[in-house]
Amino acid sequence: MTDPIRLDKRVSELMRCSRAQAQQYIDGGWVSIDGVVCEQPGTSVTSGQVTVAEDAQLNAIEPATIVWHKPAGFDATQSAGAITAANRSATDDSGVRLLQRHLHGLTALMPIDSDASGLVVLSQDGRIWRRLTEDYAAIEQEFVIEISGDPVPYGIARLCNGLQYQGRSLPPCKVSWQNEVRLRFAIKDVRPGQLRHMCEAVGLGVVWMRRIRVGRIPLGKLPVGEWRHLPAGARF
């Protein structure tokens, strides 16, 4: 093959299929040029060897939803660029084949303070975006916070019900001791800076905080800085 030819046309010839089906094979990451996967149907091919994986399928490509263990000090709204093939977790058992298109257009959902670490959800899926945006106030989040100092009398009770932040009375939440220096919060409708303010309002300093759950989705044992896919159909 010497004259340039579009990759989708070459795949159409190899698979004896329509150009639209050829593009599906390419979009799905099933096509390689000289052993390197190419996901661009319009790529010009001259002398390279084009191959299609033996187990290639014409399934539609589902939009990706990713759970990332954000390190402290990282702005979650700028987190899409931190998701790469290199930091995909070995604990990812979703079975989702990683495609380059899965790493583009990811939107970080459910805000978390930059000085906090923990679970961040990024998604290309409009259904997930609507769920975590429109129903944000109704979805419970769970945090572990390491504190310093001793609470004022009835401080834990006040954390659960009775504080204000930015001019509004905070709704009840569940707060309990995980150990002598860590509190566990199960809370809804968290605003930026709210958890630190709550702790300081009852005499406690915040050493660090980590979000460990959003709705039904736990952080689990995902290492700091790594990410995993959520299978299609996962419910928050």
Q: Which two tokens stand for residue 70?
A: 């954000």
Assign a CATH topology to domain 140-214. Answer: Alpha-Beta Plaits (3.30.70)
Segments of the chain assigned to CATH 3.10.290.10: 5-52
| Averaged pLDDT, 74-80 | 79
Q: What confidence tens digit (pLDDT) does each residue in 25-40 have?
A: 888 778 888 888 887 7
User: Would you say residue 4 has pLDDT above 60?
Assistant: yes
What is the model's pLDDT at position 105?
A: 82
Q: Domain 5-52 is of which CATH architecture? A: Roll (3.10)
Segments of the chain assigned to CATH 3.30.70.1560: 140-214
18: confidence class by pLDDT, cuts 50, 70, 90: confident
Q: Say if residues 48 and 34 touch (Cβ distance below 8 Å).
A: yes
Q: Say if residues 102 and 174 touch (Cβ distance below 8 Å).
A: no
Assign a CATH topology to domain 65-136+217-229. Answer: Alpha-Beta Plaits (3.30.70)
| Averaged pLDDT, 52-70 | 87
Q: Say if residues 158 and 172 touch (Cβ distance below 8 Å).
A: no
What is the model's pLDDT at position 2?
A: 63
Q: What confidence tens digit (pLDDT) does each residue in 112-163 have?
A: 999 999 999 999 999 999 999 999 999 999 999 999 999 999 999 999 998 9
Residues 6+ apart with CB under 8 A from 111: 76, 77, 190, 192
Residues 6+ apart with CB under 8 A from 38: 7, 26, 31, 32
Q: What are phi and psi of 50, to 5 degrees?
A: -95, 125
